[in-house]
Amino acid sequence: MDVEKLAKLGMSAGRLEQVSKWLSQQVAMERVAGASLMIGRRGEIAFQEAAGVVDVETGEAFVDETIVRIFSMTKPITTVAAMMLYERGCFQLDHPVARFIPSFEQTQVWRGGALSDVEPQSSRMTVRQLMTHTAGLTYGFMNQNVVDEAYRAQGLDDRRDQTLEDWVDQLADLPLMCQPGSQWNYSVATDVLGRLVEVWSGQTLAAFFEEEIFTPLGMVDTGFYVPEEKQHRFCSMYRPASGAVMGSQSPGANPLKDRDPGLILADRFDSSPYLKPGLFYSGGGGLVSTLADYGRFCQMLMNKGALHDVQLLSPKTVAYMRTNQLPDGADLAAMGQPVWSETNYEGIGFGLGWAVVLDPVKANVIASEGEHHWGGAASTFFWLDPKEDLFIVFLTQLLPSSTYPLRRELRAQVNQALTESGD
């Protein structure tokens, strides 16, 4: 490590060795097959490393160029695309979604009994509510009530052979889980937002991403599928074998001695659906990417919307996106979501496209007020800390993201490597 460079970036070379050790431990304990990590600070890359393998059977190394499924880390990209179109005058945040997608005009709201027990929307679902997951939508995998049961029955989670336009119209026929604006529910809302990007731009979501975001930023390995010439860099995805500890290890566990259970294959790199394009472009979770590509996206956001000579958003827009958008300044717990994945949501709000730290003490995390973050289903994660001029990208391929407290542990590792604070 370049000790002098790291000193200028306010980071300790010696303490970053502990970060490297933590990354290797995740592989050694068979928590993950492989992983990569990037730490960016003050406009430069302070740390970048990979460990483990892309596939347990082949033993091929997991490297910085490995392509992974980022799932819900697609959502911030879709929201940036929408806000680029906002800056072009295509919509206002309080515009009703039905203004652009007429099939939502008659969408009813479930009242809590049978699926047919519905009432009209008391106020029409807005674009902002899509961006903040307060639109009344849900996911089929939630398994909470008859609404998400209807999503599963309609096959809304299995959609590669359906266009985004047709899928959204099918979704609009089902009732909302609650009145728009009344609750925070993680949902397909960003997929609907992706359809709005298509309506506003006159392009497919894939085309808009490629022409307006990926090419300008140099995100050469990001897309909705892995082209044939890049498939040798694609990663297998795993689940924990039976008996995996959910949430955290037991008190007193020795991470070097007490190995977590092993891994079972969930999606092999050479037979994955991601090896060929589908009709459905999921703005909520459809992209694959690499460490370098997502790092460029994060650096653009850290630079308040610009990277080198490319300006995707104005600083004013980025600052607004980082602001808690929940009604009356509430946190997610007050909006009906006390915990999501392995994360406590006391003291955590939601901006446009990502969670925002409102009160680090209440949230039980060492973080800056205003830090914003999100992750993907396969345990990927990123966070942006404007006060520290710091961003982190962590990539791996482990389902589900709640299996181990990787994100909480990683925060501690990164924080302990800082020698200067922006506070």
Q: Are residues 255 and 310 in the same domain?
A: yes
Read off the tokens for 276: 């060929």
Q: Are residues 214 and 65 in the same domain?
A: yes
Closest to 25 in 3D by CA, of 14, 39, 37: 37
Helix, strand and coil percent figures for the chain, each rounded to 5: 35, 20, 45
| ∠ CA 116-118-124, rounded to 5° | 140
Q: Is residue 222 part of a domain?
A: yes
> Which of 202, 220, 236 is the endpoint of a domain?
202
d(CA 322, CA 327): 15
Q: Are residues 153 and 266 in the same domain?
A: no
Q: Is residue 80 part of a domain?
A: no
> Which of 142, 167, 202 is the endpoint of a domain?
202
Residue range(s) defining the domain that contains residue 406: 3-74+208-416
Q: Is residue 225 part of a domain?
A: yes
d(CA 360, CA 270): 42
Q: Are residues 297 and 394 in the same domain?
A: yes
Q: Is residue 86 part of a domain?
A: no
Q: Is residue 85 part of a domain?
A: no
d(CA 345, CA 377): 17
Q: Are residues 191 and 212 in the same domain?
A: no
Q: Do you find a cis peptide bond into 400, omega within 30 degrees of 0?
A: yes
> Which of 148, 178, 202 is the endpoint of a domain?
202
Which pLDDT does position 157 carry in this prediction? 84
Per-residue pLDDT tens, the chain, 423 aa: give them: 799 999 999 999 999 999 999 999 999 999 999 999 999 999 999 999 999 999 999 999 999 999 999 999 999 999 999 999 999 999 999 999 999 999 999 999 999 999 999 999 999 999 999 999 999 999 999 989 999 999 999 999 878 789 999 999 999 999 999 999 999 999 999 999 999 999 999 999 999 999 999 999 999 999 999 999 999 999 999 999 965 443 333 334 443 344 456 899 999 999 999 999 999 999 999 999 999 999 999 999 999 999 999 999 999 999 999 999 999 999 999 998 655 555 678 999 999 999 999 999 999 999 999 999 999 999 999 999 999 999 999 999 999 999 999 999 999 999 999 999 886
Q: Are residues 23 and 117 in the same domain?
A: no
Which pLDDT does position 138 carry in this prediction? 96
Q: Is residue 304 part of a domain?
A: yes
Q: How many CB atoms lie within 10 A of CB 302?
A: 21
- Please state the domain count of the chain: 2
Which pLDDT does position 341 carry in this prediction? 52
Question: In this structure, what is the dihedral angle of CA atoms 123, 128, 131, 136, given to the nearest 10 degrees?
Answer: -10
Asked if 46 contacts 8 with a C-beta cutoff of 8 angstroms, the reply is no
Which pLDDT does position 397 carry in this prediction? 98
CATH code for the domain of 164 = 1.20.58
Q: Is residue 79 part of a domain?
A: no
| ∠ CA 44-379-281, rounded to 5° | 90
Asked if 136 contacts 185 with a C-beta cutoff of 8 angstroms, the reply is yes
Which pLDDT does position 160 carry in this prediction? 79
Which pLDDT does position 249 carry in this prediction? 38
Q: Are residues 131 and 259 in the same domain?
A: no
pTM above 0.75?
A: yes
CATH code for the domain of 267 = 3.40.710.10
Q: Are residues 224 and 153 in the same domain?
A: no
Q: Are residues 298 and 158 in the same domain?
A: no
Q: Is residue 177 part of a domain?
A: yes
